[in-house]
Chain A
């Protein structure tokens, strides 16, 4: 995701920084030296975010950090909190790209989810997923609920509203990062029980997360709007939407397969059109967009032979779309709001790490898994990235009044998980490989 699949060298990082400095210098020259009335449009913001994201991503790679972290920081620095190069209004307009980015993330996750993987490890996957959902889901909600009562700003929220918000945050806490896991496995080239478990879980669990998140979001929305929980009618509507989403996902998956099989021209353009079109349709019909795309990806992988073509297009497109997506997410961060809640973010981060360890420990002890899973099984699951930020963005858009606060807390925790997660997984993989050898 560096803008080009070139190896990242120090020279390239230096040159990217130079490019960024050049654009910034030119902007200052026009505005301050020539005193021109330069109108910073959304287009300028988008272009600037791409250049700064590329530079920061390359810099992150040199430091051994994921590129995504660089993109987030680039957005944060350029955004309304610090440099004001991209304004709040422009950030909101740039969220148009989110539809495409979320579609790509969800389709890629669906593509990784094969029938073989599902059948061979079904017992372990199911047990671990339930364990994560219960332990992390309830644990994180409890931590948030308890800690929020002591924090200014959050302690004024009524308990009836705080609890559903806590569930939204906790469900996002359960989500993992297929992208980060795949990137570390690609980098280390280690294949063992831990790597198999990691791949299976990140995809299998994320499907559950998307479904449970839809329920938690509906609960939070009704609580904030002053309604008493979710009625039976609302629940049946929600289930209807989920079933319809799965049906729509299957249809679009088959449609994509047919296109790649029969026409197979302008693949990139086709996938962009499908992503935006289906996202708009889902928004109109109240379908779960992420679920539709995950199912579409699953259908292409498991019921056709077109998955390779689709994955290659998604990976190519992702390189630039993700820069904009993550940088926009970074620019949306209201860091100043965090000054009051940094303790909460730290508690949630440490709490999630502890709960992840606990949920894996319970599963592997009860199923008597191999030693490497018992010892390091939790290490792949600290990472969070695209899907978690996507869910935060959805929460921002859909939860009235508190959406921004919830999204800021989630993205802050995700940022920490994104920085430390890949490092932990890399360490765990190497340790498990050593343990297997010994």
Chain B
């Protein structure tokens, strides 16, 4: 009970702070940074470290959250949403990272193909179960939504039991549902709203594993600066776009990166390299937000962004 209450309590704090209208309006130090920093406070190197047993209990919820986010993402991808296409990048990054890790871990071809085949198999089984359990109606009611959440729990159970990566199972499951039930999931507003809450919980859990090592922080910050510079060059030089909003909207990193890195950290492949990867991603995310915050301060803080503002 304690682990769950603590997670819910921390989540509540992050959620309340994240929903302060001041922060939300500034579109700058967003709810995710608040959740990440809250998590860092409770990390093993933070001022209030959580007990390892408590941490392992808390991460169970995070694993379900990861499957859920990637299930939703799978649905968006199949529905061919424009912004979802942009989100495809984390999947490529994830697959590349996984392949690098497997090679690094010395897995042979058979094991590698099994690790890719099992998510496909489990995702397909779960999609069939979904079809049998959830009637094909135009919209969902709350019990149906909760049942879908229950299926995500089962999906996570398969992934953990077979020692395969949750994001892969989630995305296959989501893509199959998106392809066969069309936009049933994507059109459901309450289901879409859960993404925000789950992302906050994931960010909170990411914070628990972050390393405060100066070198790691530096790598994260440097990556963020390098990335912001690339985004600036892309917007100014390649797209020849002088609008402020386009540049600012691309500064924030995709939160799915955090989920993917957390999944690796909780997978059987976890080690020093996964901690480095997750920590760099977290510090990079925070640094990107700080850069964005600074740019807003310089431009038109604290008003909301206006269309057509120049850099």
A residues apposed to B, CB below 8 Å: 1-6, 12, 15-16, 18-19, 22-23, 26, 30, 36, 38-48, 50-51, 54, 96, 99, 266, 268-269, 272-273, 276-277, 279-280, 283, 316-317, 319-321
Contact = CB atoms under 8 A, between A and B. Distances in A.
A14 to B, nearest CB: 9
A272 B5 CA distance: 11
B218 interface: no
Given A280-B1, A316-B142, A4 B147 contact: yes
Given A3-B133, A43-B64, A277-B9, A36 B157 contact: no
19 contacts: A1-B143, A2-B143, A23-B154, A36-B162, A39-B163, A40-B157, A40-B161, A41-B160, A43-B63, A47-B153, A50-B150, A50-B153, A51-B150, A266-B197, A269-B197, A273-B12, A279-B1, A316-B143, A320-B143
Contact of A43 (B4, B140, B141, B156): B156
Given A43-B64, A99-B1, 19 more contacts: A3-B144, A12-B135, A15-B131, A39-B160, A39-B161, A43-B157, A46-B150, A50-B150, A50-B153, A51-B133, A96-B4, A272-B8, A273-B8, A276-B5, A276-B8, A319-B142, A320-B143, A320-B147, A320-B149
B261 interface: no
Contacts of B113: none
Nearest 8 A-B pairs (CB), nearest first? A47-B154, A44-B157, A316-B142, A319-B143, A19-B132, A50-B150, A320-B146, A43-B157
A402 B228 CA distance: 65
Contacts of A272: 8
Nearest to A313: B142
A327 to B, nearest CB: 11
Given A19-B132, A19-B133, A54-B147, A268 B142 contact: yes
Nearest to A9: B135
Nearest to A97: B4
Given A22-B128, A30-B162, A280-B5, A4 B141 contact: yes
Contacts of A26: 121-122, 125, 158
A83 to B, nearest CB: 16
Contacts of B153: 43, 46-47, 50
A398 to B, nearest CB: 14
A103 to B, nearest CB: 12
B57 to A, nearest CB: 9
A279 B1 CA distance: 9
B133 A46 contact: no
Contacts of B160: 39, 41, 43-44
B58 to A, nearest CB: 13
B137 interface: yes
Contacts of B158: 26, 44
B261 to A, nearest CB: 21
B287 to A, nearest CB: 30
Most B C-beta atoms less than 10 A away, residue of A5, A6, A43, A96: A43
A97 to B, nearest CB: 10
A41 B134 contact: no
Nearest to B146: A320
A417 B40 CA distance: 52
Q: Is the interface of B mostly helix, strand, loop or mixed?
A: helix
A30 B157 CA distance: 13
Contacts of B128: 19, 22
A82 B160 CA distance: 24
A48 B157 contact: yes
Interface residues on B, range: 35 or more
Contact of A18 (B4, B132, B157): B132
Contacts of B161: 38-41, 44
Given A15-B133, A22-B129, A51-B129, A5 B143 contact: yes
A19 B147 contact: no
Interface string B24-66: 0000000000000000000000000000000000001001100
B2 interface: yes
Contacts of B131: 15
Most B C-beta atoms less than 10 A away, residue of A16, A18, A44, A276: A44
B143 A4 contact: yes
A149 to B, nearest CB: 38
B154 A3 contact: no
Given A39-B161, A44-B158, A46-B153, A4 B12 contact: no
B91 interface: no
Contacts of A15: 131-133
B162 to A, nearest CB: 6
A23 B129 contact: yes
A317 B125 contact: no
A273 B16 CA distance: 13
A50 B12 CA distance: 27
B291 interface: no
A47 B154 CA distance: 4
Contact of A283 (B1, B12, B150, B193): B1
Contacts of A51: 129, 133, 150-151, 154
Given A3-B147, A273-B8, A276-B4, A41 B157 contact: yes
Contact of A38 (B144, B162, B193): B162
A48 B121 CA distance: 17
B157 A46 contact: yes
A60 to B, nearest CB: 16
Contacts of B122: 26
Contacts of A276: 1, 4-5, 8
B155 interface: yes
A19 B156 CA distance: 17
B211 to A, nearest CB: 27
A6 B63 contact: no
A195 to B, nearest CB: 26
A5 B141 contact: yes
Nearest to B5: A280
A50 B121 CA distance: 21
B75 to A, nearest CB: 18
Contacts of B197: 266, 269
B8 A277 contact: yes
Most B C-beta atoms less than 10 A away, residue of A4, A12, A54, A277: A4
